[in-house]
Structure 1
C-alpha cells in the first residue's frame, strides 16, 4: 500500500537526517491557501503524518488566496520562507528564478514516478523541477439547478450555448426573481478570460513570455460584463467587490443567491457543500462558437520545497507523503484537483462524494475536446490577478469604459512582465 511505504520512507529519512537535529524533533512549516474545508483537511493530513513520524512536527501556515502571496513574498524576502510551499502556475517561474525553490529532482526521498505524465513535468523551469503537481483540474461554469427552477428558466445545453446565451439567460433569471437570485456572479477573474481568448485563437502569453491577446479581444470581454451590469444579470459593482473578497464560501452559489459562477473544477465539492445543493458543472459558453475550444487542463497547484530549508530531506519526505499516500488521498479527495498520482487517483475514485465524482466525470467528458495546453507563464505574470481586479473594478464602477479598461489592463500587464525579465 502506498501510504505504508511512504511512512517508512520518511521515518528512515528522519532517523538519518543530517540536519543537525539529532535527538530533537524536526520542525517544518507548510504553507497553503484555500477554503475552510481545505484548511481542515490539510490539518488532518498533518496529524496523520506526525502520528506516523513522531520525529517531525509540521506547523500549518494558511490563509486565503489574496493574503497568501503577500505573506509568501515577505517571508522569502526575509529569508523566512516555509519549508514546504503550495505554489501556483502563475508564480512558479518567478520564485524559481529568484532562487527561492529547491530542484525537487535533486532531493532524496521524493518519489515522482507515479505522477500522471500529462502534468508530471509541468513544474519544470529551465530544466529543473521546482513544483510537483498536486492534481489536475479545469475551469468550468458551476450552476445551481434549483436556482434555475425557482426562476422558471431552463438549464442551458453546455455543448452548444454561446456567450450571448449566457448573458441573456443571466438577465432572464434576475428579472424572473426580482433580483432575489442573480443570473451569474459575473466574469470577475482572468481564468475565465483565458478561456475566452483561447476560443478566439489567442492566449494570455506565448512561448517567449510575451502577451498573446489583443486589446480588442479584452474589450469584447469587458463588454459582456457591461451587458450583464446594465441588465441586472450579475451583482452590482459594490456587491461584486464584497462577494469576491469572501472567496468560494461567500459566492452567490454558496449563499443560494445566484444561478451560476465560474470556478475551478476541483472547487465543486467545497461550493456544493457550502450551498447545501447539488451544484452542476457546465462547459464554458462559446466552446463551439469559433474554430477551437478554449478549455484546458491545468495542474491544480504545486508542492515546492524552499531552497533555504534547514531540513531538505524531511521536507522532501513530507512532499512525498502528500503526493503518494493513499490515506492523504482519502482525506483530501479531489480538493487539490484529481490526484496527480495515478495510483492514488484510482484508489479514491469509489470514495469520492457525489460532487467530486461528477467533477472527475466532467474532466473525462471534456478531455477529447481539449486542443492544447499553455506555455509556462513568464515572471511577473502573477501580477495579472491584481491587474485584472483593478481594471475590472474601475470599469464596473463606471470609471472606465470597456476600451479604457482593456488599455489599462494590457499596459499594466506589459509593465509587470517586462519588469520581471
Structure 2
C-alpha cells in the first residue's frame, strides 16, 4: 500500500452530479448496508455467501481466454468472491463503458488505457488505489506513477512496452545493408539506411511509416520537449513538428518509404501484415510486445532497435509505456474483494504464470524475473531489450489530457 499523501480530487459540477446520481442508483439496490452503503469485509465473510464483482476488459479471443483463466484461478483461491466477466472488442468496450458509467453501473474492476485515464479519473469514476491493500512495492515507481492523476493512483500498470524500430534481418542481408549500431545512429543515418534498402534492387522498401504519436513524442523528447505537458498543454514547438514530418517527406522523395497513399493503406492491416512481417520491408516502428507476432509472420529473425537520435539529442526520448492498467470503480459495493482481485492479477505467481508477457512485461519486477525464463525465445528478446534500456530511459510522459 502506498502511503504518499494525496491531494483532494477536483471535480467539476457535472462530475459531482454524475457521482451523486451513480451513488443514489447504487444505493437503491443495496438494502440495509450501513451508513456508507457498502458491506464491510467482515459482513461479507459472516454472511457465508460469495460476493459478486464484475470484471471488464477488451481484446481478442486469446485475451478473453487468458483473463477468464486468471478469474477462475482467483476464485479457486478465494471462494468467497465470484468474478462475473464482461468483455468486448476495443471499440465496443469504450462505448459500453461510457454507457454503464452514465447509468451508475461501472464495473467493479476494469481494464484501462492511458488515453482514457484522465477522463474517467476527473469524473470521479476511478478509486484511489493507494488507499487499498494492493501491493506496489515490487513495481518500478516511475512506471507506477504513470497511473496517477491529480495526485491519486487511479490505475496500476499491468506491464510495460517500448516503442521501438523492428528490423527484418533477411531484408537487410539481401539488400547488402548492414544493421545499424542503434546506440549511435542519427536520424540522418536512419534515412540513409532506409534509402539504401529501397535502392538495392531487391524490391524491398526501406521502412514502413507508421503514424503514431509515440514516434513524434520520442522525437520531441530528444529535444527536451514533449507531446503534452503535466498540465495537459501542448509541449512542443512548431519547428519540432515540421522537422518530424520532414523526415517522412524526405524518405518519400528518396524512395526510402512508400508514398502516403500506401502508408494509409498499411495503417489498417496490423503488425502481422506489415512490410517487415511480409518480408517486403526493412524497418517498421512498433511496440516491443508485437515482436512475436511480426517474427512469426515473417518466419525470419527480427531485431529490436533503439530509435535514431537517442545519443545525439539533449536527452533520450524513448520511454516505458504501460501496456494496460487495472482500475477499480470508486462506487464498487465490494472494494475489499475488488482490490484483492487486482492484487492477485498483478502480484501473484499464479496469475503471472498465466499472463506471462501478454499484458506487457510485468510491472511487478519480481514476477517479471520469474516469468522471463518461461517465455518463448522471441519474447525473451523483448525482455532483454527492455532491460537494456533501464539505464537510458529518463522518465515516462505524463497522462495525456482528456480527449
Structure 1 residue 74, shift from structure 2 partner: 4.0
Task: Work out which of the residue numbers 182, 190, 204 in structure 1 matches 2:227.
Answer: 204
The answer on 1:171 being equivalent to 2:195 is yes
- 1:97-116 mapped onto 2 (5 Å cutoff): 97-107=122-132, 110-116=134-140
CA–CA separation in structure 2 for the residues paired with 1:245 and 1:172 = 26
Distance 1:187 1:242, change over 3 A: closer
CA–CA separation in structure 1 for the residues paired with 2:103 and 2:137 = 34
CA–CA separation in structure 1 for the residues paired with 2:109 and 2:224 = 37
Alignment match, 2:366: 343
CA–CA separation in structure 2 for the residues paired with 1:258 and 1:60 = 39
Q: Answer yes or no: is the 8 Å Cα contact 1:255–1:275 preserved in 2.
A: yes
Per mean C-alpha deviation after superposition, the further-off stretch among 245-254 and 203-212 is: 245-254
- 1:240-319 mapped onto 2 (5 Å cutoff): 240-319=263-342
Alignment match, 1:88: 113
CA–CA separation in structure 1 for the residues paired with 2:300 and 2:70 = 27
Alignment match, 2:167: 143
CA–CA separation in structure 1 for the residues paired with 2:379 and 2:114 = 23
Report the 3-state secondary structure (helix = DSSP H, G, I; strand = E; otherwise coil) of the residue aligned with 1:153.
Answer: coil
CA–CA separation in structure 1 for the residues paired with 2:40 and 2:68 = 21
Report the 3-state secondary structure (helix = DSSP H, G, I; strand = E; otherwise coil) of the residue aligned with 2:66.
Answer: helix
Q: Answer yes or no: is the 8 Å Cα contact 1:31–1:82 preserved in 2.
A: no
Alignment match, 1:402: none
- Give CA-to-partner distance per residue, 1:206-242, whole Å, 9 cap, x none: 2333211011111111111112233333344343333
Structure 1 residue 178, shift from structure 2 partner: 5.5
CA–CA separation in structure 2 for the residues paired with 1:233 and 1:101 = 46
Look at both structures and tell me which one has the larger radius of gyration over its CA atoms: 2
CA–CA separation in structure 2 for the residues paired with 1:290 and 1:106 = 40
CA–CA separation in structure 1 for the residues paired with 2:270 and 2:333 = 34
Alignment match, 1:26: 52
CA–CA separation in structure 1 for the residues paired with 2:207 and 2:40 = 51
CA–CA separation in structure 2 for the residues paired with 1:231 and 1:20 = 73
Q: Answer yes or no: is the 8 Å Cα contact 1:203–1:213 preserved in 2.
A: yes
Q: Which runs of 5+ in 2 are unaligned?
A: 1-38
CA–CA separation in structure 1 for the residues paired with 2:363 and 2:142 = 9
Distance 1:113 1:158, change over 3 A: closer
Report the 3-state secondary structure (helix = DSSP H, G, I; strand = E; otherwise coil) of the residue aligned with 1:367.
Answer: coil
Structure 1 residue 193, shift from structure 2 partner: 0.5
Structure 1 residue 308, shift from structure 2 partner: 3.5
CA–CA separation in structure 1 for the residues paired with 2:324 and 2:94 = 14
Alignment match, 2:144: 120
- 1:179-194 mapped onto 2 (5 Å cutoff): 179=203, 181-194=204-217
CA–CA separation in structure 2 for the residues paired with 1:186 and 1:364 = 26
CA–CA separation in structure 1 for the residues paired with 2:119 and 2:102 = 13
RMSD: 3.0
The answer on 1:363 being equivalent to 2:389 is no
Report the 3-state secondary structure (helix = DSSP H, G, I; strand = E; otherwise coil) of the residue aligned with 1:114.
Answer: coil
- 1:220-235 mapped onto 2 (5 Å cutoff): 220-235=243-258
CA–CA separation in structure 1 for the residues paired with 2:62 and 2:301 = 17
Report the 3-state secondary structure (helix = DSSP H, G, I; strand = E; otherwise coil) of the residue aligned with 2:55.
Answer: strand
- 1:5-20 mapped onto 2 (5 Å cutoff): 18=44
Moved over 6 A (4+): 19-22
CA–CA separation in structure 2 for the residues paired with 1:102 and 1:311 = 12
Distance 1:214 1:21, change over 3 A: farther
The answer on 1:77 being equivalent to 2:102 is yes
Structure 1 residue 23, shift from structure 2 partner: 3.8
Q: Answer yes or no: is the 8 Å Cα contact 2:146–2:398 preserved in 1.
A: no
Q: Answer yes or no: is the 8 Å Cα contact 2:205–2:258 preserved in 1.
A: yes
Structure 1 residue 136, shift from structure 2 partner: 2.8
Q: Answer yes or no: is the 8 Å Cα contact 1:14–1:56 preserved in 2.
A: no
TM-score, scaled to structure 1? 0.76
Per mean C-alpha deviation after superposition, the further-off stretch among 76-85 and 283-292 is: 76-85
Per mean C-alpha deviation after superposition, the further-off stretch among 222-231 and 24-33 is: 24-33
TM-score, scaled to structure 2? 0.79
The answer on 1:162 being equivalent to 2:166 is no
CA–CA separation in structure 1 for the residues paired with 2:273 and 2:100 = 28
Q: Answer yes or no: is the 8 Å Cα contact 2:353–2:371 preserved in 1.
A: yes
Q: Answer yes or no: is the 8 Å Cα contact 1:43–1:60 preserved in 2.
A: no
Report the 3-state secondary structure (helix = DSSP H, G, I; strand = E; otherwise coil) of the residue aligned with 1:120.
Answer: helix
Structure 1 residue 306, shift from structure 2 partner: 2.1
Alignment match, 2:239: 216
Higher share in helix: 1
